[in-house]
Amino acid sequence: MNNDHNISDEELKKSEDILKEIESYYKKRIVGQNNLGRALLISLMANGHILLESVPGLAKTTSAKVLTEAVAGRFSRIQCTPDLLPSDIVGTQVFNYAENAFKTKIGPIYANFVLLDEINRSSAKTQSATLEAMQERQITIDNKVYPMPEVFIVIATQNPIEQEGTYLLAEAQLDRFLMKEKLDYPTPEEEVEILERIENKVFDDDSPILNLDSVVFLQKLSEKVYVDKSIKDYIARIIAATRKPKDFIKPELAEYISLGSSTRGAISFMQCSKALALMKGRGHVIPEDISDLRYSILRHRISLNFSAVADGVTVEQIIDALFGAVATP
């Protein structure tokens, strides 16, 4: 049965109206950073987590807050440091002297949108505790399980410049992020526009335009978007190419890859392409959706060796070569 018929014109129209409102709210407050806006919206619809890489001051925190404000969600920001403990994030038991009893204090991870600022500055133990909450969508304090909110998205950032005193995320932990987005500096024209908006106090108005029910509607509708078997085969062949690159691309390029994508990469392609199709007003996924998402899905799932770094070869170049070698349906 073709799942495309499960999405009515009314549902598509409603999703289009919701998305337009969110995009309008975002663009009124954030100048440029269109890739970031798209990535945040896709992660919102797919209910997945996102990793952002950039130098400080490029509106990562502001963008996350703006998205939260738009849908009247609960926002939490955690500044990661080497001395941060798992209990500082997840929560712990606190003794209440007035009642002579322990009480559970749930940590800041319990929110709709959680910004983990410079996640690579927290210790491996703290990273593991955080990523467990992300994966299992629950936290455990004193053997009691607390399910996370229905809408739960972690937006983690890392600074690629300052590596001193940092703990690099392991490949298995990186893989738990639905997408990874790289941000660049604004243009001089965009920078002027940012100054104008600050002067005009654009950011002072944080009134929500929607609620979390609208987000849940988008998430459930996104799940119903139709993905043809030929598209699934296309995704599977792309993932296979990352694992056995010598069968698809030139040997000199293939030698730069030390590790390919896991099955989570294929799942992420499917989930994110459904969200992207809905953003484009369609109830079905097309090959262009997969191609549009290639960097966001694969850049943190393909590991390059030291030779690639020495020769100045980027993961994006490898991804382009892989996509060029796999036939489009």
124: in domain: yes
101: in domain: no
190: in domain: yes
pLDDT at site 86? 86
Give 140-168 pLDDT, tens digit per residue.
Answer: 888 888 899 989 999 988 877 655 556 67
- Residue 308, pLDDT > 80, answer yes
Each as own residue / partner, the long-range contacts of residues 313-317 (CB below 8 Å, 24 or more positions apart, any chain) are: 313/253, 313/256, 317/253
pLDDT at site 3? 45
**158 with 57, same domain?**
yes
143: in domain: yes
**20 with 145, same domain?**
yes
Give 83-101 pLDDT, tens digit per residue.
Answer: 888 888 888 888 778 878 8
Domain termination residue (choose one: 201, 222, 243): 222
**115 with 213, same domain?**
yes
Backbone angles phi, psi at 141, to 5 degrees: -125, 120
Domain termination residue (choose one: 192, 207, 222): 222
**Averaged confidence pLDDT in the chain:** 87
Mean pLDDT within 31-45:
86
95: in domain: no
**119 with 207, same domain?**
yes
5: in domain: no
**176 with 210, same domain?**
yes
Give me the torsion for CA of 129, 131, 136, 142, rounded to 10°: 10
Which range scores top for mean pLDDT: 36-40, 120-124, 129-133? 36-40
**231 with 218, same domain?**
no
CATH number at residue 71: 3.40.50.300
**pTM value?**
0.87
Q: How many domains does the chain have?
A: 2
Domain termination residue (choose one: 197, 222, 247): 222
**183 with 242, same domain?**
no
- Residue 56, pLDDT > 90, answer no
Q: Residue 235: give the domain boundaries.
A: 225-329
